[in-house]
């Protein structure tokens, strides 16, 4: 089933978007597509509105930082509940220009997920109706889940490294 879905979606995306579909692969029995960031909104809209695919439900949206620490990624999990189709759509942007179009016009539920991704990674969702921090304080001037920020408070001297297995 997963390979068939990969082939079906890959064929439709390639016909519609050509070289903007950067990769299509089956990872752990899950169809995964990487899309050029300039076309991500068009691809998401196509996947939602195509009569056969009908990915009408956004299960999850999250962000990540690549291992090279030069790019941020946005990952979308889409679901067609009627046919039980699920796909993962990924796009990557430069850390210095983390602009991605909002998906709130397609799925209103993307609102809080995009705010969380902005809050922790700094992804700027262009066109978002209220892009502001959702969990961290508004005055915070860093994005705490980026790899350039230490996991621990380096100014504390009341911790012993032996307690942390170091």
**Euclidean distance between CA atoms 56 and 106, whole angstroms:** 9
Q: What is the pLDDT of residues 116-140, one digit of tens each?
A: 999 999 999 999 999 999 999 999 8
The domains located in the chain, with CATH, are: 2-164 (3.30.460.80)
Q: How far apart are CA 149 and CA 25, in angstroms?
A: 32
The residue with tokens 């009341």 is 158
Q: Tell me the CB-side half-sphere exposure of residue 33, using CA atoms within 13 A.
A: 31
Evaluate if pTM is beyond 0.95. no
Q: By the 8 A CB rule, do 111 and 61 touch?
A: no
Q: Quick: pLDDT tens for 38-60.
A: 999 999 999 999 999 999 999 99
pLDDT at residue 78 greater than cutoff 70: yes
């Amino acid at each position: 089933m997963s390979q068939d879905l990969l082939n079906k979606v890959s064929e439709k995306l390639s016909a519609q978007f050509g070289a903007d579909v950067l990769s299509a692969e089956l990872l752990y029995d899950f169809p995964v597509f990487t899309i050029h960031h300039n076309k991500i909104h068009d691809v998401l809209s196509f996947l939602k509105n195509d009569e056969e695919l009908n990915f009408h439900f956004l299960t999850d949206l999250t962000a990540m930082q690549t291992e090279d620490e030069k790019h941020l990624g946005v990952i979308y999990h889409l679901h067609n509940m009627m046919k039980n189709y699920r796909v993962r759509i990924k796009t990557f942007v430069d850390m210095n220009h983390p602009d991605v179009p909002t998906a709130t016009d397609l799925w209103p539920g993307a609102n809080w997920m995009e705010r969380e991704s902005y809050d922790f990674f700094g992804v700027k969702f262009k066109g978002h109706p209220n892009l502001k921090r959702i969990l961290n304080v508004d005055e915070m001037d860093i994005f705490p889940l980026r790899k350039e920020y230490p996991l621990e408070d380096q100014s504390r001297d009341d911790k012993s490294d032996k307690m942390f297995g170091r």
